[in-house]
Amino acid sequence: MLTESQLQGIYVPVVTPFLANEEIDFAAYERYLMNLLSHDIDGLVINGTTAEAPTVTWDEVAEIVRLTSKLLRDTGKQLPLVIGTGTNDTRSTIMRTEQAAQLGADAVLVVTPYYSRPSQAGILQHFERAASVGIPVIAYEVPARTGIRVEADTMRKILEIDGVIGLKDSSGDLRLIRQLMESGCSKPILCGEDAGFYEMLGSGAKGGILASANLRTSDFMDVYRAYQAGDTARAEATFQSLSPLIGLLFKESNPTPLKWMLARQGLINSDAVRLPMTGISEGLRARLCGFHE
């Protein structure tokens, strides 16, 4: 089980490679994951936004988790495995959280319940119930996707729940992390808004869950490690060198640009996504072509 103090560094959210018939391409996933594991990353996130959680079934998630655990065992790597279990329904979130625990997850990622637009009290209870399952919970605030904003005071209360070990903050600005730090929050906050990673480190983030770190992984690690070592000049310069790529990866909905780049580099076989996601535009392709690892 993941502890608060272990929730730091660069956690990479994995993609779900598909075949042309939209089935999961497990062989490609294996190749892609082995490459990722050759880097010194701090953790993996399965079934995040980057994995296309809305269109991947729970049975498929379970298969991906089993394969990932096997590859971790085979390579002797001991990396924390975080599984996304949050939905907009508290009961199904609890069920998935229980199943994630059975699958051997070290923690679960629970997104703010989207679509229903619950009250702040409802959001708090949602996290209380998820945490009551007994596996560590990382709260995930991503208002651009959920359509609802968790108030700083509610988030403070969520982070005070026993069993909630930290926050992935994809709110898109520094207000939430600053308010939480000012209120004395001691639980780790990880950046989930790639373009703001360096600034969030400066505001107290303990690392990031960053889709872009699937590419130029060593450079992302370098930003984090240099920052931790006090070499902010190096961290900032390396991050600046990553910024144009990050900008393009989020020009269209994540993970479609990322999958296109991974396929281009031969790390997965195809950039296929499941509808309603569609492939990237010709214009973005042309711009991404300019990037080489």
Ligand X SMILES: O=C(O)C1=N[C@H](C(=O)O)C[C@H](O)C1
Nearest residue (CB) to ligand X, 157 versus 164: 164
Please tell me whether the peptide bond between 255 and the residue prior to it is cis, using omega within 30 degrees of 0: yes
Nearest residue (CB) to ligand X, 71 versus 277: 277
Nearest residue (CB) to ligand X, 56 versus 235: 56
Of the candidates 11, 29, 140, 227, the residue annotated as catalytic is: 140
Length of the chain: 293
Q: Is 90 annotated as a binding residue?
A: no
The answer to whether residue 77 is catalytic is no
The answer to whether residue 140 is catalytic is yes
Nearest residue (CB) to ligand X, 157 versus 168: 168
Q: Is 50 annotated as a binding residue?
A: yes
Task: Give the nearest residue (CB) to ligand X.
Answer: 48
Chain residues binding ligand X by CB under 6 A are 13, 45, 48-50, 142, 145, 170, 192, 194, 209-211, 254
Report DSSP letters for 175-239, one per residue: HHHHHHHHTT--S-EEE--GGGHHHHHHTT--EEE-GGGGSSHHHHHHHHHHHHTT-HHHHHHHH
Quick one: tokens of 125? Answer: 């209870």
CB of 209 to ligand X, least distance (A): 5
Please tell me whether the peptide bond between 143 and the residue prior to it is cis, using omega within 30 degrees of 0: no
CB of 76 to ligand X, least distance (A): 26
CB of 184 to ligand X, least distance (A): 27
CA gap 207, 286 in Å, rounded:
31
CA gap 11, 107 in Å, rounded:
12
- Numbered residues of the known binding site for pyruvate: 50, 209
Q: Which residues are catalytic?
A: 140, 168
